[in-house]
Amino acid sequence: MANLKSLFKDTAIYGLSSIVGRFLNYLMVPLYTYTLKSCADYGIYNDIYAQTALLMVLLTFGMETTFFRFMNKEEGDKMRIYSTALIMVGSVCLTFAALVLLFIDPIATALDYPNHKWYVGMMFVTVAQDAFQAIPFAYLRYKHQPFKFAGLKLLFIFMSVSLNVVAYWLMPKIDPQWEIHIGYAFAINLTCTTIISLCLISELIGFRWQFDKQKCQEMLRYSWPLLVLGIAGILNQVAGQILLPRILDAEDGRNQLGIYGACIKIAMIMALITQAFRFAYEPIVFGSAKDKNSKELYAKSMKFFIIFTLLAFLCVMGYIDIFKYLVGEKFREGLGIIPIVMMAEIFMGIYFNLSFWYKLIDKTIYGAWFSLAGCAVLFAVNIIFIPKIGYWACAWGGLAGYGTAMILSYFVGQKKNPIPYPIKSITIYFIAAMALFGMMKWFERNTDWPTWVLLLINTCLICGFIFRIIKTDMPLSSLPVIGKKFKK
């Protein structure tokens, strides 16, 4: 129970920073989509960011999870493990950044951006810093310092938002000749990332840097399947965005990618919840691996994760008539993909929670196979259907890919390391959420009622789901502070 309380507390802190940060980051979506001249300009932004997301996985090569596993498994000098991880990731990132700057022209040409080589250069140097920062940030999580972790994440967001507002909103008002282009976003990201790197110096000093060759080899043996898993996992997220402008005509592809990239930002609240949960969950899971009640913790955590992601799904879809104003009008034709993308993110979150069975028994190769299977399904859907239905194929491909990996992980996991997940209760919640969503869509399509009436109906439906949660799994008497009144 103490671990579960710690999970909720840390998730709340990490989640607050992620929620505030993601909310402020959402301000960038209308800022870009209302000010950029075309959907294709925003498509360039999404294309390069999709490529850097893949690079982030390659440059960290599973070392975050490996770091937690070895820090909790080893009884000796833990700082030796930390410094070894820093040297491993740092050397790879430094080499990568140097090669990018040295060969920027052929790299940009190969990526179809010969006229925007410094967009590519700035983002690739940025991702090299981000990848190195992953280890100090993991160390903060290991030391249970969520406030510093959250503070630095929020500092980055506030700096980024402020500079973007200046570049895309304030300067055009001050100087009518100010030329708006997407390059400012890449320069701002590089600047803010560099400042955060400087803020992490205290995590890089005060101990003896040591490189343990034997630990390095052990860590690499543990992490390489995680790298394959990570590559397959991130491809499930970004492969469609990378393929779209390359399967279709370049201009049409970037135009569709701009629409798709803008609309999935609304759906990314699922990624926010999953990320916040992961930041808190990973250290607790590895730290409680020897606890006899650990499987009960994993089962309860899975249930609450699914409950709250389904609630988030209903909230976004129930108020989509408000959320749609986050994107410019020319991007709104893609709003129909949002429920598909959100459900794909739920499947991804479930898959992440399921993944601990093989991480805890050091059989990460299973994760690699599951993710590769999901990735194969995703590529097949995208390659076959993008020429026919465009960005809709990206949404359906993600759902099919994550669904495949999730199903494989569950059934194999229940044979290799069974965990008593409350499947019946989870299924009831899922059916209830889908039924409520179906009712929302029915009222939207079969009535001519004004928007405010539909929003009121959707609010009542969402409250019904919340009532179910409170009545069944989270009675008010169990909540802090207000629970005391109900116990009386």
Q: How far apart are CA 195 and CA 160, in angstroms?
A: 11
Contact 278, 352 (CB under 8 A): yes
> What pLDDT score was predicted for residue 1?
46
pLDDT tens string 271-309? 666 666 665 655 555 555 555 556 777 787 788 888 888
pLDDT at 91 over 90: yes
| CA dist., res. 378 & res. 58, Å (int) | 20
Listing DSSP states for 13-70 in one string gives HHHHHHHHHHHHHHTHHHHHHHHSS-HHHHHHHHHHHHHHHHHHHHHHTTHHHHHHHH
Task: Count CA atoms closer than 13 A to 2's CA, side-chain side.
Answer: 3
pLDDT digit string, tens, across residues 429-468 = 999 999 999 999 999 999 888 999 999 999 999 999 999 8
> Minimum mean pLDDT among 78-87, 105-114, 357-366: which range?
357-366
Backbone Cα Rg of the chain: 23
| CB neighbourhood size of 143 (10 A) | 13
Mean pLDDT along residues 233-248: 82
Least confident of 177-186, 230-239, 403-412: 230-239
CA 246 → CA 121, 257, 390, distances in Å? 20, 11, 12
- Are 315 and 348 spatial neighbours (Cβ–Cβ below 8 Å)? no
Is 163 a residue whose pLDDT tops 90?
yes
Nearest CA to 357 out of 411, 427, 428 is that of 411
- Residue 261: predicted pLDDT: 85
Q: Lowest mean pLDDT of 20-29, 121-130, 165-174, name the range.
A: 20-29
What is the C-alpha separation between 439 and 452, in angstroms, rounded? 16
Note the pLDDT of residue 384. Answer: 94
The pLDDT tens digits of the residues spanning 130-147 come to: 999 989 988 888 887 777
Mean pLDDT of 192-204: 92
pLDDT higher at 324 or 274: 324
Taking residues 97-105, what's their average pLDDT?
93
For residue 8, give the 3-state DSSP assignment.
helix
45 Cβ contact partners less than 8 Å away, ≥ 6 residues apart = 32, 182, 185, 258, 261
Mean pLDDT to the nearest integer, 37-48 = 84
- pLDDT the model gives residue 486: 45
* b/e code 66-89 from CB counts within 10 Å (16+ = b): bbbbbbbeeeeeeebbbbbbbbbb
Per-residue burial over 456-481, b if 16 or more Cβ lie within 10 Å, else e, is: ebbeebbeebeebbeeeeeeeeeeee
**pLDDT at residue 355 greater than cutoff 50:** yes
The encoded tokens of residue 232 equal 């397959």
Report whether 437 contacts 313 (CB < 8 A): yes
383 falls in which pLDDT band (50, 70, 90)?
A: very high
Q: Specify which of 25-39, 183-197, 225-239, 292-306 reaches the highest per-range mean pLDDT.
A: 183-197
Query: Exposed (0-12), middle (13-18) or buried (19+): which is 441, by Cβ within 10 Å?
Result: exposed
Higher pLDDT, 75 or 388: 388
